[in-house]
Amino acid sequence: MSREYPDRPFVGVGAVTVDEDGRVLLVKRRFEPLAGQWSLPGGAVDVGETLEACVTREMREETGLDVELGPVIEVFDRIMHDAGGRVQYHYVLVDYVCRPVGGTLTAASDVADVSWVETGALPGFSLTDKAMSVIGRGLTLAAEAGWIPERSTGSLRKGC
């Protein structure tokens, strides 16, 4: 079934991946939806695949990194309409906070570029409001887990 103009929503995952300095991993999408835009890594869940296994697979496929999964940040709908108002894409997304534990960072699979980004530089990547909100919550969870310094969550936490 095509993901474009679906007859049902697709389940997908995303990862707010943070390093020990509190930087966030972003990917530049190669394909629709959001082709050419910076976003969080992730993708659609395969039949028979758990959410956690999907996050692990997508991170490895898109970024070359192995990750440790933390808790779910949020579950939400991403519904995108075409110019005529028809539903062009509909995803139910489950975002997790993660940290890298191995691998080598590289743009792979369906991404054009990857970048570790300081939180103060995130607005320059034209992320969606929803992505910024999820990142803020993810940074809070990462700090609570002791993965990053508390100061790394500052400006984004205030907006959440």
pTM beyond 0.85: the answer is yes
* Edge-to-edge strands, sheet with 24-29: 38-39, 24-29, 111-117
Domain count of the chain? 1
Residue 40 lies in a domain: yes
pLDDT per residue over 12-70, tens digit each?
999 999 999 999 999 999 987 778 999 999 999 999 999 999 999 999 999 999 999 99
Q: Are strands 65-81 and 24-29 parallel, antiparallel or unpaired?
A: unpaired
Q: Are strands 10-17 and 87-103 parallel, antiparallel or unpaired?
A: parallel
Q: What is the CATH number of the domain that holds 40?
A: 3.90.79.10
7: pLDDT confidence band, cut at 50, 70 and 90? very high
Contact by Cβ (8 Å): 91, 11: yes
Residue 61 lies in a domain: yes
Whole domain around residue 109: which residue ranges?
Answer: 10-148
Burial category of 37 from C-beta neighbours within 10 Å (exposed 0-12, middle 13-18, buried 19 and up): middle
Residue 19 lies in a domain: yes
Judge whether residue 152 has pLDDT over 70: no
Residue 3 lies in a domain: no
Residue 158's pLDDT is: 42
Higher pLDDT, 158 or 84: 84
Residue 101 lies in a domain: yes
Chain centroid to CA 157: how far? 17
